[in-house]
Amino acid sequence: MQVLRRALWAMPAFLAIALTCLATTRAAVPPRKSNGLTDVVQWDNYTLFLHDQRMFLYSGEFHTFRLPVPELWLDIFQRMVAAGMNGVSIYIHWGLTNPAPGVFDFDDWRAIQPIFDAAKLAGIFVILRPGPYINAETTAGGLALWSTSLVEGAVRTNTTSWNSAYQPYVSRIIEAAKPNQVTEGGPMLLLQIDNEYSQTPAPNAEYFADLETQYRSNGIVVPLTYNDPGERMQFVNGTGAPDLYGLDFYPNNFNCTPGPFWNPVPTNFHEYHLETAPERPFFLPEFQGGSNDYWGGPGYDRCRERIGPDFEDVYYKNNWASNAKMQSVYMFYGGTNWGGIAYPGAYTSYDYSGAIKETRVLWEKYDEMKRQAMFIRSSPSFRKTDWIGNTNQSDPQTLYSGVALSGKDGNKTFATYLQNPDTGTGFIIARQLNGTSIDNVSFKLTIPSSRGPLDIPQHVPDISLNGRQSKVIVSDYTFGASGSLLYSTAPIFFAGTIGPRDVLFVYGESDQSHELSVELRGSGARINSKRVLYTESRDAITTISISPQPGWNGLLTLWESSTQLILFADPTTTATFWAPPVRAPTKNTVPGLETFWQFGTNTTVLVGGPYLVRNATLEDGGRVLAIRGDLNASVPLAVVAPESVKSVTWNGARVSVRTTGTGMLSGRLNVSPKIKQVKVPQLKGWKYADSLPEVKDGYDDSNWVVADHTSTNITIPPAFGDGRVLYGCDYGFCENNIFWRGHFNATGSETGVNLTINGGTAFAASVWLNDVFLSTVSDFSAAGETNALFSFPASALRPGEDNVLTILQDHMGNDEGQNQKSDRGIRGFALVGSAANFSAWKVQGKYGGYLGYPDKVRGVLNEGGLFAEREGWHLPGFPTHTVDFMSRDLSLGLPGGRAGVGFFTTTFDLNIPQDLDAMFSFEFDKGAQKTGEPYRALLFVNGWKFGKRVANVGPQARFPVPPGILDYRGTNTLAVALWAMEDTPVHPTLELVIEGIVQGGVGVISTNNPCWTPRTRE
């Protein structure tokens, strides 16, 4: 039977044999530990325990603030659970929720309770990471931007000023988190203390200790954790050390330019764990799940080449080989750096080449995560393993006595042997000795087993690795109620019980041979295929050997009886199968965790074919299997369910199915023709108005903020000037575009002005004298600063009069790391050719600054200081007839082809049927990463700033926008603020494109796009 979803990269095949002699006496039970506040969550040297059950935590990162549509959080959680993940790691952004001193905003998409509610509904545990510092490629690393200006001295240290800034925020976090802990039946399993820091000097550690005390003294009892970047051994023990130490590691770094080039695979993780925290589980709270891309970078397609499914296959299983039983990948879903969220090193997209694309489209990396997570979920014996040994580099064919590599490329293979001390189950994790090699290799194994030493495979030539591939070879592996594998060189996707049957689902590459040795149970049928050989032994073990058939894909039923089912498929077909938890209480069901696998239910089914299965339930006394999920095409349906199931529904509609075996049903899921009838509207009917009145004669800036501070708490002082400090955040303007206007009475001898402008990496600034454009500067260094002489044309200077120097600056965000208190603004100013000085400096950023911005829904980082933004032209319902708007197509650029800022707006209608989930993007310039045209454009969709296009830098030309921001069944307001940076015509184009479309979805997605209301002129 053939089951197809979409063309996917083939995933490496798993091997499986490393048989271990069963001990005659049970292994000693290691002591459990806890924080003394609760026994609901405990740990030993292997894993966490939750409600006395050992658990392997396999988690992924998702930032809800990067997807500001709360109904879609459930969508992401369901996709993660469908992939077999049981944890989600979530940052909370202090700066977004505490926009001004004493002002807290946990409403709308900043709310925390909907996160927990959606996680509980989906059945996924939450690792909460509320900072205050989160890093995360966010402006100031997530610190409240006002704190970078108002806090005296350093941040993240034990000082009165810093403590008084962050502690009220943490109090609100505690209020939200306390009732949602697993101890209260909620989904919050762990809480992280701050992020990536150093224990020295001492005030750093004291700050961590203060944080922990605040949490503990106010009712947070779950374990507190820490992520240590790069094996620095910080906060393992001593002042500020939390309950659980974790290693933060990115082996392929953050540069996607090399494409498929890899760094060496780490080989010291197990030793590092023994050196740091051997009495605690080996925890990787941040392991590379992708990479951030940067301004002018190669784009995320290149990142997907570098950190794709093969990276997951080799590096993640290498973590398993180090005996890690707690891992979270960063990112699983990246989302969007909309508004002013990003730090200077990141552009709008935060796709991160995660397992789920920014558009929410699934791809091959998601499939590999699912194959891994389903194996973990299916293998209780893998939760507790001893690290026995790995390939000795000086003798690469020997693991330890009794386990050896041989064959053609045995000396090119690296393997690690793990063993469960209670069950004797063995796991050999094999990859190439040179983990970055793209060569194909083959080898054989000698392993000990409960039936004596074995040379495997026995009836096929070898075990193969296709380039960057890793395999888990299991031995003495049990599945279901009574199933038993002696060994298998085919990877395990699923193992468990469905109804009365033990089910084993293995898979492997079609161009490789595979073998499993299993005790076949019941009276059943074997497949009649030339590819498959069955060899009986005298001890009731049958070895099933599968020969290569390059190019084949499909599903083989190797054995089927009333008590046992064994399936084999290629990796692509395997990825079309799902095993949703089916809610069914057990004697061990934990109140509040009814939807969670292992803790609420151990009942499941196998569903093959759909693009996504979100959940499944048994109805009508178990006779009806009700499945909900998504389709992107019509597909065959394969179901393995209890024998009681006689009918199937898909999203509420009955599906015609027939029995194809004992407990196996087949049918077809037909996608609605509506999926091909979705029409993408053309973006036309543009209206245009000038958005740079600040450089015109007579412009009144009397209501702007006077920039006259002579001191600052920002770390780096001004470079030169007259003592006035011109840093935007000191005046309430901490993000996005900022205007500066310097007034001086000209003597006539002035020839120019010397300016040092700081805006962060990839910033730009344009300068005018009166109404004459002088020049635009930019900088792509880490400093994000430039010093330049702006010469005055004689015709521009007005001797004896008030002259105005206008500077439009693009604030790219504050740095993260050590310079969160970034010096964004004018660091130096001096007129040239005259002793005259500036009589006044004025500054204007977003309307109201962080103290008085009016758009509380979209929040503190959505708007900037462009005139159109301050007036609210980007908002739905703005009456364009009240301003001097005219018809002008966006592709015509600014009138006259001069430097300046113009504002374009239009509307378009969508009518997407309720049961369709369409993924839309806005594409500039036919998708060209870099056109060379000197313009920057801000993209507003229904008032939300969802894109910054820099055409002469790139790489982003396509900007995804989710439903909820887009109104799928109504009128949408689209606006573009176009900044032409030179006296050169620019001709941007913009189209709406579909990235993907499925029938199904998570349900109704509401919109919350407040309309324009009049604003008082500054």
Q: What is the rounded distance in angstroms from the CA atom of residue 292 to the CA atom of residue 903? A: 30
What type of residue sits at position 323?
Answer: N
CB 900 within 8 A of CB 980: yes
Q: What stretch of H or E contains 390?
A: strand 386-390
Cα dist from 912 to 201, 642, 920, 985, 1008, whole Å: 57, 37, 11, 37, 18
Q: What is the rounded distance in angstroms from the CA atom of residue 31 to the CA atom of residue 23? A: 20
Catalytic choice (196, 212, 368, 933):
196
Q: What is the rounded distance in angstroms from the CA atom of residue 16 to the CA atom of residue 14? A: 6
CA angle 298–67–191, rounded 5-degree value: 100
The torsion angles phi and psi of 23, rounded to 5 degrees, stand at -70, 145
What type of residue sits at position 427?
Answer: F
Environment class of 852 (CB within 10 Å of its CB; exposed 0-12, middle 13-18, buried 19+): exposed
Q: What stretch of H or E contains 368?
A: helix 364-378
Strand partners of residue 138? 342
Using DSSP bridges, classify how beta strands 886-887 and 413-419 pair: parallel, antiparallel or unpaired. unpaired
List, edge to edge, every strand of the sheet that includes 48-50.
41-43, 48-50, 53-55
Q: What is the rounded distance in angstroms from the CA atom of residue 557 to the CA atom of residue 660? A: 11
The pair of three-digit structure tokens given for residue 821, joined into one six-digit string = 């208190």
Is the four-CA dihedral 148, 154, 159, 161 of positive or negative sign?
A: negative
SS3 label, residue 913: coil
The torsion angles phi and psi of 12, rounded to 5 degrees, stand at -60, 150
Q: What is the rounded distance in angstroms from the CA atom of residue 443 to the CA atom of residue 459? A: 14
User: Does the active-site annotation cover 286?
Assistant: yes
Q: What is the rounded distance in angstroms from the CA atom of residue 458 to the CA atom of residue 947? A: 58
Q: What is the rounded distance in angstroms from the CA atom of residue 437 to the CA atom of residue 396? A: 16
Q: What is the rounded distance in angstroms from the CA atom of residue 375 to the CA atom of residue 429? A: 13
Strand partners of residue 161? none
SS3 label, residue 234: coil
Catalytic choice (137, 286, 785, 863):
286
All residues at 6 or more sequence positions from 932 whose CB lies less than 8 Å from its CB, including other chains: 951, 952
Strand partners of residue 937? 949, 978
Q: What is the rounded distance in angstroms from the CA atom of residue 170 to the CA atom of residue 173? A: 5
The pair of three-digit structure tokens given for residue 279, joined into one six-digit string = 């009495």
SS3 label, residue 269: helix
User: Does the active-site annotation cover 995?
Assistant: no
What type of residue sits at position 304?
Answer: R
Please tell me the total number of residues recorded for the chain in this structure.
1018
Number of Cβ within 10 Å of residue 418's Cβ equals: 25
SS3 label, residue 176: helix
- Helix 113-122 with 71-82: angle, nearest 10 deg: 30
Q: What is the rounded distance in angstroms from the CA atom of residue 986 to the CA atom of residue 548? A: 57
The pair of three-digit structure tokens given for residue 626, joined into one six-digit string = 């009700």
The pair of three-digit structure tokens given for residue 607, joined into one six-digit string = 């569903």
Is the four-CA dihedral 610, 615, 616, 619 of positive or negative sign?
A: negative
Environment class of 24 (CB within 10 Å of its CB; exposed 0-12, middle 13-18, buried 19+): exposed
- What single-letter DSSP state applies at residue 685? -
Using DSSP bridges, classify how beta strands 87-91 and 188-192 pair: parallel, antiparallel or unpaired. unpaired
Q: What residues are labeled active site? A: 196, 286
